Structure 1
Amino acid sequence: MEKLLFLSKFIRSPRTIGSIAPSSRFLARAMTQPVQWETARNIAELGAGTGSFTRYISRLKTPECQALIFEQDSTMRNALAADYPEMHHYPNARTMSHTMRLHKINGFDYILSGLPFMNFPQELRDELMDEVERSLAPSGTFIAFQYSLQMKKQLAQRFDDIRITFVPLNIFPAFVYICKKTI
């Protein structure tokens, strides 16, 4: 059912969904592996879709860790809210820094992103990345996957410490960017 929902959403709006299928468990592991779950207190997920990463966040986070989940599609967001009521669900990642203040969060330890940046105009990419920078804690980490290396240059302008891993077992194979804030 999840795969059919994802495919139907992609057919209707390929620029905002970004893929024909949900992320694989291999990609979900690669995205959540860099997180130090025992010390993470605040985490955000951008572009949660049908919850491939949300499942891992729910299972791995400690009870003290607050999770804010951002998903623009109302059908997917409502399904996630029903499945993960212990998390906070919002429609717009462009309001992340404002939303975190509502929850008395000074900065996210980790921001995980499944947003299809390559489908967005540069102005929207910049706006979202400004929001990521504002919302990360001083030593926070931004973890994002993309299907190309297109974002490498833009991320290198914002982060001093970037590692990239490759996940071939996904539809489509993906690059995972692990970007550590050093300021």
Structure 2
Amino acid sequence: MTSSELAREAFPQRIKRRIKHSLGPWGVFIEGFVRHPVMVGSIIPSSRFTITKMLSRVKWDECKVFVEYGPGVGTFCRPVLERLPRDGALIVIDTNPLYIDYLRRTITDSRFTAVLGSAADVEDIVRANGHEKADYVLSGLPFSTLPEGVGPAIADATARVIRPGGAFLVYQFSTRARDYMARHFTRIEKDFEPLNVLPCHLFWGWKDEEEAA
């Protein structure tokens, strides 16, 4: 291949890098969606209204370990870190290496750990990071489009890893996730956020003491 041919081949890649750089986090988010649309809930990150409402019921003074599934480019990560105690830990899990690499490069908080892996392995991941249980688990994973068997496996593992008094926080465009949650959490609070693209359903599944017993 001649030098001119190499230059022509490299030109689209240079354009692509420039566009991606100009878009910042949005560029990374959109590329991740294009590569893995089934595992990403939306092409648009959650709104600040969704973030505020979703995190409003967390008892932050009692939170030491917060886990998030499908963090994307960190839309929830930074608000969680702002609220998390100084001795707390935020562990995020994603199957998309593009997102994990981006988060590791851009979030330098010592309380933050980004793991490339499956949410179904949350118990092993939490233990590998020096903890036995999680206080809260947040998920925006699209349960309605996950491969068969993956949704129930994630719900099962999540119910086991959450400590008594903790909760499973879920935001979705459909109510399908509640069906998975109901198998493990008898007390599920719900809300709706219209100021989001798309409007989304919010659920908090609480692990009460009697359920843990």
**Range into which the TM-score falls when normalised by the shorter chain:** over 0.9
Q: Which residue of 2 aligns with 1:63?
A: 86
Aligned partners of 1:32 and 1:53 also within 8 Å: no
1:3 is paired with a residue whose SS is: helix
Aligned partners of 1:110 and 1:136 also within 8 Å: yes
**Counterpart-to-counterpart distance in 2, 1:129 and 1:153:** 10
Report whether the alignment pairs 1:117 with 2:143. yes
Aligned partners of 2:32 and 2:98 also within 8 Å: no
CA RMSD of aligned residues (A): 1.4
1:169 is paired with a residue whose SS is: coil
Q: Which residue of 2 aligns with 1:129?
A: 155
**Counterpart-to-counterpart distance in 2, 1:74 and 1:14:** 14
Q: Quick check: which one's helix share is greater?
A: 2
Report whether the alignment pairs 1:148 with 2:171. no
What's the CA shift for 1:152?
A: 2.1
Identity of aligned residues (%): 27
Q: Which residue of 2 aligns with 1:53?
A: 76
**Counterpart-to-counterpart distance in 2, 1:6 and 1:97:** 27
Aligned partners of 2:123 and 2:157 also within 8 Å: yes
Q: Which residue of 1 aligns with 2:49?
A: 26
Report whether the alignment pairs 1:7 with 2:30. yes
1:38 is paired with a residue whose SS is: helix
Taking CA–CA contacts closer than 8 Å with sequence separation of 6 or more, which of the two structures ends up with the larger relative contact order? 1
2:71 is paired with a residue whose SS is: coil
| Counterpart residue type for residue 205 of structure 2 | C
Runs of 4+ in 1 over 6 A off after TM superposition: none
User: Larger Rg: 1 or 2?
Assistant: 2
Give unpaired runs (5+ residues) of structure 2: 1-23
| Counterpart residue type for residue 97 of structure 1 | E
Aligned pair count? 183
**Counterpart-to-counterpart distance in 1, 2:129 and 2:185:** 26
Q: Which residue of 2 aligns with 1:80?
A: 103
What's the CA shift for 1:4?
A: 2.9
What's the CA shift for 1:11?
A: 2.7
Give unpaired runs (5+ residues) of structure 1: none
**Counterpart-to-counterpart distance in 1, 2:27 and 2:153:** 31
Deviation track 1:45-75 (CA, whole Å, cap 9, x = no partner) reads 1110011110111111111111111122112
| Counterpart residue type for residue 113 of structure 2 | H
| Counterpart residue type for residue 86 of structure 2 | P
What's the CA shift for 1:12?
A: 2.9
Report whether the alignment pairs 1:179 with 2:205. yes
